[in-house]
Amino acid sequence: MNVHQICWNDVVEGMDLPVMSVDVTYKMAILHVAGGWDYMPGHHEPDYARRQGLKTIFLNTLFHQSMVDRTVTDWAGPLTFLMRRKIAMRGQIYPGDTIRGLGKVTKVWRGPHGEGRVDLDVVIRNGEEDVCVADCTVRLPDRLV
């Protein structure tokens, strides 16, 4: 199988990642609750979400995590190991929204055993609003030649 994979040696500090984009639908929100088992009512019950002070059902923590992860691994490839990810949720993602994942390489470094590590900042932008701000560290393979 021919696989696209970014190697540690090819990453440069300051690089921008390709933009990831997702149209969030009600179907996706329901499918995500069914697949992720987070049955907190704000994620599937519009009346409850409104009593929470929000517009309608909103996408959960796992979804934010996965949008950050996709922004990184859609670019870096399937041999990437996520070592650390911090997300701060500053706004909501609702069905009907189109979100974009924007990433930037902030540091390229070696771990204590010489393994290739890359730090990245990732933002999930919903319209003009940065609804999720993240930073993470991944381990990438070295290029063999």
Partner 1 sequence: MSDGASVDESGLGLAFGTYEQALTWIGRTTQANIGEVPVNAPMIQLYCSAVQDANPAYWDKDFAAQHWGGAIAPPGMLQTWTIPMQWRPEGRRTIAVMAALVPLPGDKPINVSTEFEYFEPVREGMIVTMTDRLEAISPEKTTRVGTGHFITSVSEYHDQHGTLLARATNVLFRYKATDQ
Interface residues toward partner 1, by CB under 8 A: 1, 3, 22, 28, 31-32, 34-42, 48, 51-54, 60-63, 65-70, 73-74, 78-79, 81-89
What is the closest distance, in whole angstroms, from the C-beta atom of residue 102 to partner 1 in the complex? 17
Label each residue of the chain as H, E or C.
CCCCCCCHHHCCCCCECCCEEEECCHHHHHHHHHHHCCCCHHHCCHHHHHHCCCCCCCCCHHHHHHHHHHHHHHHHCCCCEEEEEEEEECCCCCCCCEEEEEEEEEEEEECCCCCEEEEEEEEEEECCEEEEEEEEEEEECCCCC
Report the residue number, 14 or 27, with the smaller CB distance to partner 1: 27
What is the closest distance, in whole angstroms, from the C-beta atom of residue 100 to partner 1 in the complex? 14
Report the residue number, 63 or 108, with the smaller CB distance to partner 1: 63
Report the residue number, 87 or 118, with the smaller CB distance to partner 1: 87
